[in-house]
Structure 1
Amino acid sequence: MDFEKALIKINQVSKNTLMETLGIEYTEIGENYLVATMPVNSRVHQPLGILHGGATVALAESVGSAASFLFVNSNDFVVKGIEISANHLKSKTEGVVTAKATIVHKGRTTHLWQVAITDEDGALISLCKITNIVIPK
C-alpha cells in the first residue's frame, strides 16, 4: 500500500462530512494503524467548555472505520461500524487531540481496533474500542 496516497484518499473522501465539520485530519498511516487529529475548540465543547464525549467518540469511530476501509479492497467490500465503547479519562478545553487506531484483530469479516486519544503532551484523554464488519458489496 502506498501510505501517502492512502492518506490523501481518506482526507479527500472526508470532504463535506462530519469529519470535515469537526476538523478531523488523517495524518499518519502504518502497517497496522491510522492516526488522525482534531482541534479542541468551541465547536466540539459541551456546555461546561470541555471536549464533548460525543465528539471524542466521533473521532474514534472515524479513525477506526477509516482504518478498516484502508486495509480492505474497497472495490469488493464495505466497512461498517457495529460497536463502539469509550472510557473518558481526562478533560480537555483547548488544543488538539490525536487519535491512534491500532488493529487488535483483523479477521475476514470483523476488525477490532483500539483507539487511544491523547493530548499534545501524550496524556491519555480517552480509550476507545471499535468493532467493524466487513461486508462484500
Structure 2
Amino acid sequence: MEALGMEIMKTEKQLVEIKMPVDHRTKQPMGFLHGGASVALAESAASIGALLQVNPNESRIFGIEINANHIKSKRDGWVIGRATPVHIGKRTMVWEINIVDEQDVLISISRCTIGVVPIAK
C-alpha cells in the first residue's frame, strides 16, 4: 500500500475507504491510471474490511478471487476505493469495491472474494 501511496481514510465493519494518488507510481506507460493499481486498491480495501470481521488471533484472511471492470480513465488527482460487504460468512466473504474520483464519478468496480482460514493451534 505504501509503495502506491495509499492512505486509509475510514475503517468500519460496513465501509472501508482508501485513497490513492494517480501519479508516477500508479499510471501505466500511456499516462493513465493503471488497472493493476486499481485492483491493488480494491483488494487492499476488501482485505482490511475482512480483517475487521474476524479475530486476528484466531483467523487469517486471504484474497481468493478478484475481478474488475474499469469504467472510466483518469490521468491525475486521486481515486478513492470504497469497500462494502456483500456476504460475511464463516469461511468466505465477498466485498464490492467502487473506485471513484474526487467528484464521486465511478472509475472502476470490483468484487473480491476473501477466504477466512483458522490459525492452526
1:133 to 106, 115, 118: 115
Alpha-carbon distance between aligned partners in 1 of 2:44 and 2:90, rounded to the nearest angstrom: 21
Gaps of 5+ in 2: none
Higher relative contact order (CA 8 A, sep 6+): 2
Amino acid corresponding to residue 106 of structure 1 in structure 2: I
Normalised by the length of structure 2, the TM-score is 0.96
2:77 to 87, 95, 100: 95
Say whether the 8 Å CA contact 2:85–2:96 is kept in structure 1: yes
Amino acid corresponding to residue 50 of structure 1 in structure 2: F
Establish whether residue 107 from structure 1 lines up as the match of residue 89 from structure 2. yes
Matches within 5 A, 1:1-137: 19-137=1-119
4+ long deviations beyond 4 Å:
none
Task: Report the CA distance between 1:101 and its aligned residue.
Answer: 0.3
Q: Answer 1 or 2: which has greater helix percent.
A: 1
Amino acid corresponding to residue 32 of structure 1 in structure 2: Q
1:5 aligns with none
Alpha-carbon distance between aligned partners in 1 of 2:81 and 2:25, rounded to the nearest angstrom: 18
* Identical residues among aligned pairs (%): 47
Gaps of 5+ in 1: 1-18
Q: Paired residues, what number? A: 119
Partner-residue secondary structure (3-state), 2:36: helix
RMSD over aligned CA atoms reads 0.7
Q: Answer 1 or 2: which has greater strand percent.
A: 2
